[in-house]
Every structure is written in structure tokens, then in C-alpha cells.
Structure 1
Amino acid sequence: MEDLLYFFESMPNWQKLVWILLVLSIFWILEGYYALVKLKYNKLNHAKTNLSLLGFVIIINFFFGLMTGGLFIWLENHQFGLLTMVELPIWIELLLSIMVLDLIAQYFVHFLLHKVKWMWRLHLIHHTDTHVDATTGTRHHPLDFIIRETFALIAMVIMGMPVAFYLIYRILSVFFTYFTHANISLPVWLDKTISYLFVTPNMHKFHHHYQLPWTDSNYGNMLSIWDRMFGTFVYDSTDNIRYGVDIVEDQYADNFTYQIKIPFNKNIKTKN
């Protein structure tokens, strides 16, 4: 276990970038053979818009990485956080840290992004995608992503976790982000069985339906237990899903300039 933690703790940035590109590429290719929906669109043009937004995410990640490094040093020096108050096997501490990160930095902040008006305007870009595929996982407004990363820092402070725990969580989160957004078709029995514990492609697609109440459901990224616990879990037929959002014109879905300006576009009337 110590060797595993050291591996993640010492992983260079280029390996993390390779992991992102590798996972994204695998699911992007699988979509061509096992598509859930036969989307009629220019896949490369669509990817260009979403990957441009990924560029902002990578830059933000770099600066947050510097902040995170300093924060972990402070946590270690001051022995701050819940994990410093108890003596548990390291694998239990890792599991608890991943669960808390998934709850606070994914489920809870995602819930707020839908319920708080100014945050919803930032998050709209993620929902304006009318052709949800693996690249949609990269489709976040830079300010939206900064909010998410801030909540991740809060979770880290609460737990007082070592840096390796956080990095393992990030690696897992990348996999689930592209897995759940990928336009892939799993057998319904398999997808539904997995969804009792983890977020699945079918489960997350309901979240990308263009109308309420489905849009305000299935907030989880990795674990589905939070949606089940807090009553936001939905599972139905994927045939009833239509992607996009009903307050933004579909024709601008792949227009990068239009998308980046959405939070400040007064012509778009939000629900709150």
C-alpha cells in the first residue's frame, strides 16, 4: 500500500496529462462501435469546442496544483483534519477520503451549481451540449471549474488527507468523468446493476436531459450512493432523453465564443 501511495505522490504532471488523454481517447473510440445514440454531428468540430474548454481546465489545474502543494504541507505540519484524530488502517483512510471528496467536491458543489442562480449560469455551458459524448466531460466554464476545485480544497482540509489520497481521487475522477459522459451503450441489466454503487453512462445521461426534473437529478460523479441517499436518483429509459437545455438555442452548442459568454448573456433567462 505504501508503494502505491508513493507512486501517485511522485507521479509527474506529464503522466497525469497522458492519463487524461488516454482515457478520453479510449471512450471516444468506443463510441464509434458501441454508441448509445446515433448522433448526427461533426464529431471533430464538436470535440474542438469541448477540448478548447479543456485547455482552460488544464491551466487552472496547474495553478491549483501549486496551491494544493502548499496546503498539504500546512496540513502535515499542523496535523489538522479528521484523519489526524483517529487511528485507522490506511486503506480505510483512503476510502473515507475518496468518499468525502466525491460528496463535497462533486455531489454537493454540483447540487449548488444547479440551485444557486449565479452558479447555474456558469454551469449552463456543460448542459448546452446537444451531442453528449466523452468530450462533454471536459466542457466546463473556467469559473465553474474554479468553484469545483475550491470545494475540493475544502474537502482536503476537513479530512487532513495526505497528497497521495487526493491524487488517487483525481485519477479515479478522470476515469468516471469520461466514462459517464461517453456515448456508449452498456446492456441495461449491467448498467443498472453498476448504478447501485457507481455512476454509470445511462444514469448520467438523464442529468443531461433538456428539461426538469431530470436536469436536477443524478448529480454524482463517481459514487451513486449520494443521489440515492439524498433522493436525487433517477433511472428511466434512455429513449426519452433529449440533450441540451431549454433556455439556450441548440444552434450555438458548438460555438465556443457564444458558450464562454453565456454566464454574462442577459438574453438568457435562468430558472432562479
Structure 2
Amino acid sequence: METIFNYFETIPTAHRSLILVGGITFFWLLEGAIPLFKFDYKKWKHAVPNLFFTLTTIIINFALAFLLLKTADWVQANNFGIINWLPEMPLLLYVVLGVLFLDFFGAYLAHYTEHKIKPLWMVHLVHHSDHKVDTTTANRHHPIESVIRFAFTLLGVFVVGTPIAIVFIYQSMSLIFTQFTHANIKMSPKVDKFLSYFIVSPDMHKVHHHNMLPYTDSNYGNIFSIWDRIFGTYLELDREKIIYGVDTFPDEVKNSSLKELLKQPFQGYRKPTGVEEV
């Protein structure tokens, strides 16, 4: 564990880029081999706006990275934060708790907040308005949302007290998990269900992308499923019943246009309807 910790403490930017590109490539190929849904679409054309938003997310996170570094260095130097106030523990447990709590602040809490505050929902809508969810959907976030997500992660680093090595471990895991859970891959329902007791599984997250309430407002987690189970936001839905998108924004042509997606947060507020019963 110490070797891994030391590696992530100074992980080269090129290696982090390799995780991103390697993940997209791996799941892209896997989608072709074992697709969950046989989408009738031109995959590269569908990927263009999603990859654009992936690029803007990278740029924003890179530009603001110094804030993460400064905060992580400060909490470590001042022994500040939740995991630093706990009794001394093995390094592995220290890392697991750090990633677990960062997942709460940087993913679950950020995601939950975006669904509950109207202006933030309109920003987050860009992610939900994809009608063909696949691994490229993972980082389909409007630039404004990238800033919002970064702010929550920064809050997490401060409150949890994570050194930069744990921050980079969390970000790497978060990236792979979001590519995995959005990927259009078919997994055994039993295996998927088993995984969902511990981590966010593909079927679990795809319920969140169903176009109607209450499913849209469920399963907010990214890495660990514990947060949805603790806070009562976990729901299940048969994968065959899932319809992607948002029912109040049904125009797939507009929702595939980069120009329209950039304008989407500034349209009138419209929440998905709640016509389906759990």
C-alpha cells in the first residue's frame, strides 16, 4: 500500500491522462462486444459533444488543480480533517476512509445538491439529456458543472483532511467508475446486483438515467453504493424498462447539438415528471 500511496503522491500528468484515455478505449471496445442496448446510432457522431465536454472538464480541473494541492498540503501540515482526527490506523484503512468520504462530498453530495436546487439542475441537465448513454456520457458535464463538482471535491479535501496522494487515488477511481457505470455493457443481473451492495454497479446507475421521477432522483453515488443506502436514495428498476433522457426535454436532435447543450442551463426550469410508481 505504501508503494501505491507514494506513486499517487507524485503521479505524472501523462499517467493520469492514460487512465482517462485507456478507460474510454477499454469500455468503448467492451460496449461493442457485449452491449446492453443495441443503439441505432453513429457512435462517433454521438461521442463528439460528450468528448468536447470531457475536454472542458479536463481543462477546468487542470486550471484549478493548484487549489487542491494547496488545500491537501495545508490539511496534512496542520493535521486537520476527519481522517486525521481519528485514532492512528493502518495506511490501507486510512486510504479507504479517505476515498470513501471524498466520494461522499465530491460525488454523492454534489450530485444530490444538483438535483435539488433548480439552477444547478438546469446545469446538470446536460448530463441527463443524453438519449444513448454509453461510456462517453461519463464526463458529459457542462463547464459550469465542472466548476461546481470541483468546488465540492475541494470542500471534501478540506473537511476530510486528505493528503494529495489520496486525492489522486480518489480522482482516478472516480474516473474509472463513472466510465464503467455509464458504459453500455451487459452484465449478469445477479453479478450486477451483488456488486451493488458494495459499489455503484452499471444497472444501479442507469436507473438514475431513467427519464422520469422518482428514478431520476435516485442512485446518486459514484464509487460506493453505501451513501444511497444510508440516505434512502437507492431505487431499483428492471433494465428493460429504462428509457434514457429527461421526459420534459424530449428533443433528441437538440440534445445532441453542442450549441444547444451549451445553452441548455439557461432555459426555463423543467423537472422530470413523476408519473411512474416505484
TM range (shorter): over 0.9
CA distance in 2, matches of 1:213, 1:234: 9
Query: What runs of 5+ residues in structure 1 fail to find an aligned partner?
Result: none
CA distance in 2, matches of 1:212, 1:92: 37
User: Is the CA contact 2:207–2:219 (under 8 Å) kept in the aligned structure 1?
Assistant: yes
Q: Measure how far apart 1:162 and its partner are.
A: 1.2
Q: Percent identity?
A: 39
Q: Measure how far apart 1:70 and its partner are.
A: 1.6
Structure 1 runs, 4 residues or longer, greater than 4 Å off: none
Match of 1:88 in 2: 89
Which sits farther off after the overlay, 227-236 or 183-192?
Answer: 227-236
Q: Measure how far apart 1:220 and its partner are.
A: 0.6
List per-residue Cα deviations over 1:212-258 (Å, max 9, x = no partner): 11111111101111111111111221110111101212221210010
Match of 1:122 in 2: 123
* Partner SS state of residue 121, structure 2: helix
Match of 2:276 in 1: none
Match of 1:109 in 2: 110
Query: What runs of 5+ residues in structure 2 fail to find an aligned partner?
Result: 274-278
Match of 2:183 in 1: 182
Q: Is residue 35 of structure 2 the alignment partner of residue 55 of structure 1? A: no
* Partner SS state of residue 166, structure 2: helix
User: TM-score of the superposition, structure 2-length normalised?
Assistant: 0.94
Give the AA of the match of 2:179. Y
Match of 1:28 in 2: 28
Match of 2:224 in 1: 223
Give the AA of the match of 2:66. L
List per-residue Cα deviations over 1:32-66 (Å, max 9, x = no partner): 11000011111001111100011110101112211
Alignment of 1:257-268 (within 5 A): 257-266=259-268
User: Is the CA contact 2:254–2:261 (under 8 Å) kept in the aligned structure 1?
Assistant: yes
Aligned residues: 271
Q: Is residue 177 of structure 2 the alignment partner of residue 203 of structure 1? A: no
List per-residue Cα deviations over 1:69-128 (Å, max 9, x = no partner): 122222233222223323222111111111101111111110111111011010000000
Give the AA of the match of 1:220. G
User: Is the CA contact 2:213–2:272 (under 8 Å) kept in the aligned structure 1?
Assistant: no
Q: Is residue 150 of structure 2 the alignment partner of residue 154 of structure 1? A: no
Give the AA of the match of 1:157. F
* Partner SS state of residue 105, structure 1: helix
Give the AA of the match of 2:93. I
Give the AA of the match of 1:228. R
User: TM-score of the superposition, structure 1-length normalised?
Assistant: 0.96
